Amino acid sequence: MPVFGPVIPVLRIFDERKAREFYIDFLGCGVAFEHRFGENFPIYLGLSLGGCALHLSEHHGDANPGAHVRVQTHDVAAFIEALRAKDYKFAKPAAPGRQPWGSLEATIVDPFGNRLTFTQDVSAAEGGADDRSGQG
């Protein structure tokens, strides 16, 4: 049986400067690699955020705008609070909300319409998925 690794989503971007501002300056991603086929060509950018890898592409055939990616984290509240403290002009993330399936989640939309949902499984630590109090 083959062994599979993590999925690496490719997200469509339209403006390299805005993408860097959002993903690197705001979210805190590191640059794993950058590729262009030549001068004045679209960029293909590999990013990392802890154990999460994302690829961003200006190439129109690589992906459609408006994707939705879920990123697991161990402390979504602290991450979102750190983002809120940056007071980024184009994203004001709301506090994470408790979901019926047992996770805390916060969604942020990038400048290109892609949604990133940062999620933390809290069901085991707080009594399982039967806790339907809705408190977050």
Q: Look-up: residue for tokens 């086929």?
A: 37
* Rounded-to-integer distance, Cα 59 and Cα 14, Å: 9
Q: Look-up: residue for tokens 């408190």?
A: 135
Token reading at 44: 């293909």
- Domain carrying residue 25: 10-121
Give how many domains the chain has, as a whole number.
Answer: 1
Tell me, yes or no, whether 101 lies in a domain: yes
Whole-structure pTM value: 0.86
**Domain of 110: which CATH number?**
3.10.180.10
* Rounded-to-integer distance, Cα 84 and Cα 67, Å: 23
Tell me, yes or no, whether 135 lies in a domain: no
Ordered per-residue pLDDT tens for the chain, 136 residues: 899 988 999 999 999 999 999 999 999 999 999 999 999 999 999 999 999 999 999 998 999 999 999 999 999 999 999 999 999 999 999 999 999 999 999 999 999 999 999 999 986 555 444 333 333 3
Tell me, yes or no, whether 113 lies in a domain: yes
78's enclosing H/E stretch is helix 76-86
Q: Give residue 128's pLDDT.
A: 42
